Amino acid sequence: RLELRCERDGAGAELRLDAHPALAVSRAALLPPPGGPGDAAGQELPVESRPFTSYGSALHIALPQAPRAGQLLTLLIDYEAGEGPGVCWLSPEQTAGKQKPYMYTQGQAVLNRSFFPCFDTPSVKFTYSATVKVPEGFTAVMSATTWEKQKDNTFVFKMSQPIPSYLIALVVGDIVSADVGPRSRVWAEPCLIEAAKKEYDGVIEEFLVVGEKLFGPYVWGRYDILFMPPSFPFGGMENPCLTFVTPCLLAGDRSLVDVIIHEISHSWFGNLVTNATWGEFWLNEGFTMYAQRRISTEVYGLPYTCLEAATGRALLRQHMDATGEEHPLNKLRVVIEPGLRGVNPDDTYNETPYEKGYCFVSYLAHLVGNQGKFDAFLQAYVNRFKFQSITADDTLGFFLEYFPELKEKGVDSIPGFEFDRWLNTPGWPPYLPDLSPGQQLMRPADELAELWAADGLNMEAIEAVDITGWRTYQLVYFLDQVLQKSPLPEGNVKRLSKMYPKISKAQNAELRLRWCQIVLKNNLEAEYSKVKDFLHSQGKQKYTLPLYRTMWGGSEATRALAMETFSATAPQLHVNVQNYVKKILGLEGAE
């Protein structure tokens, strides 16, 4: 049921909604106004689905007459869905518990049109409610401010704040919950709930409190986390009130909570203030990276946060080296042409909006020159645009309006750093924030990587470095340096593996990813099984694609490993990830 208001006259007598070929519409009807005369079943309307883009179709619904400005319409659409890319059905073996099937929806960026007919654009926001009946032994949860269980295993949800279509999400599975804070609980399959509670007990509230101090009130009521099955393709999806996250975050040592800080930061940047188009995704992600690192600085200190930001910068470097700096996706403002041959917004997903976006927000802070003043600006920005969808012009216009002295100085057109250049020129960011406070953690890692890359290993110097106290991101940074220097001289990686079981036998996904890349780059065939095991254990896009790229760019043996691993794991991967891997491996049927 869609409750619509006509914004202005001259709209015409046709309603167009986003839909999908996998969505079968059986009937559309105009319902009488509440309390007014008319048939409760409504007046049936002609409805037709027409081709629109590669990732969806347009639903054309003919209205009896053109509505007037301000007029309210209630539409009823009967349809069936389930086959589309936004709805993921997992067999029992794709779950952690291996006993019962599971389903979840993933809306970002343009997939929810295959879950329900809607205006599937981040420029439109709305409230929603849902009634979900599920079989016995299953539980339903949604991204909603309230939910209650009624009889017959029926769940009722309400989202009282306006959100864009991509943030509506549903999960049905064998899931249970445990409280981890005054407004937070973790949800997971029964076999994971203890680990989830242990890892996140008490930490979420700490992050929320810091976020509120920095960016203003948390408006969504609850903040719950749902640990997804291993095939979930993302680290996290910031569905409001209920963040979905990869089970890879259950590292057992709280070392990967920065992903949670990232998703919490979306509560202000992305969910509350939203990019109006996917071509300006950096408004969601660049600001969220900045906010994440502000919270992290308050909680963990500047050196550690700079180290984490340095690993982010390394990812951006890798991405730009792989695509070429001049690639059109390496701009903050990406042109997404509509139409049948247009770009699918999902395919524009890369490091640029995150890390180059972070650099631009950091540059704005650098122009202000005072952290307290910039924090105050961010709070004013959220307050000014909350519950709205905006463009970069809105953001930058507000920045100059908020700091008239900067506007007067013409900071938007400083040669080489023009706002227009930031937005529209591809390539490496013109300004990089100073990460030198992280040097105290980076230097020992740099020096150790140098030692391991040497022709004759100086074991005395190597053994003098004690890495037992290093935190995850220090180890990640060390491995990034080793990877950059790979392939190392013959035999070095084998020694390294033996010397640091903490790294080579790690269960932490960030360490496993990099260790697998090092094993492949150095043709350490004795440990190829670790690559296979890691790819069997999870299906996160950010871990899966780089490993297939490395394997495919390597030797005959690593190519064979890629083919063998993919044919074994394909059924447990998200359909988008399957397609991206097929593309890397040059397989037929890649979309």
**Binding site residues, as ranges?**
106-108, 233-238, 262, 266, 285, 540-542
Query: How many CA atoms does the CB half-sphere of 562 hold within 13 Å?
Result: 26
In this structure, what token pair is assigned to residue 547?
């490993």
Is 473 designated active site? no
Measure Cα distances from 129 to 22, 87, 171 in Å: 23, 18, 15
> Taking a C-beta distance cutoff of 8 angstroms, is the pair 7, 48 a contact?
no
> Taking a C-beta distance cutoff of 8 angstroms, is the pair 88, 106 a contact?
yes
> Taking a C-beta distance cutoff of 8 angstroms, is the pair 51, 339 a contact?
no
Burial of 459 (0-12, 13-18, 19+ CB in 10 A): exposed
Task: Tell which phi-psi region holds residue 319, choosing left (phi > 0), alpha (psi between -120 and 50) or beta.
Answer: alpha
Cα separation, 377 vs 309, in Å, equals 22
Which residues participate in the annotated binding site for Zn(2+)?
262, 266, 285
How far is residue 64 CA from its own chain's centroid? Answer: 41
In this structure, what token pair is assigned to residue 461?
């110097």
Task: Tell which phi-psi region holds residue 130, choosing left (phi > 0), alpha (psi between -120 and 50) or beta.
Answer: beta
Non-local CB neighbours of 283 within 8 Å, separated by 6+ positions = 269, 273, 274, 275, 357, 390, 391, 392, 395
Measure Cα distances from 261 to 223, 224, 288, 296, 493 in Å: 12, 13, 9, 7, 34
Catalytic residue (choose from 102, 166, 200, 354): 354
Non-local CB neighbours of 410 within 8 Å, separated by 6+ positions = none
> Taking a C-beta distance cutoff of 8 angstroms, is the pair 293, 308 a contact?
yes
What 543-546 contacts at long range (C-beta under 8 Å, 24+ apart), as own/partner pairs, is 543/248, 543/509, 543/512, 543/513, 544/573, 544/577, 544/581, 545/577, 545/580, 545/581, 545/584, 546/318, 546/513, 546/517
Cα separation, 87 vs 192, in Å, equals 23
> Taking a C-beta distance cutoff of 8 angstroms, is the pair 257, 265 a contact?
no
Beta bridge partners of 139: 173
Is 588 designated active site? no
The CA-based angle 572-578-580, given to 5 degrees, is: 150
Q: Name the residue with tokens 């932490």.
A: 508
Which residues participate in the annotated binding site for a peptide?
106-108, 233-238, 540-542
* Gap between the terminal Cα atoms of the chain: 33
Catalytic residue (choose from 55, 128, 189, 263): 263
Cα separation, 83 vs 145, in Å, equals 28
> What are the catalytic residues?
263, 354
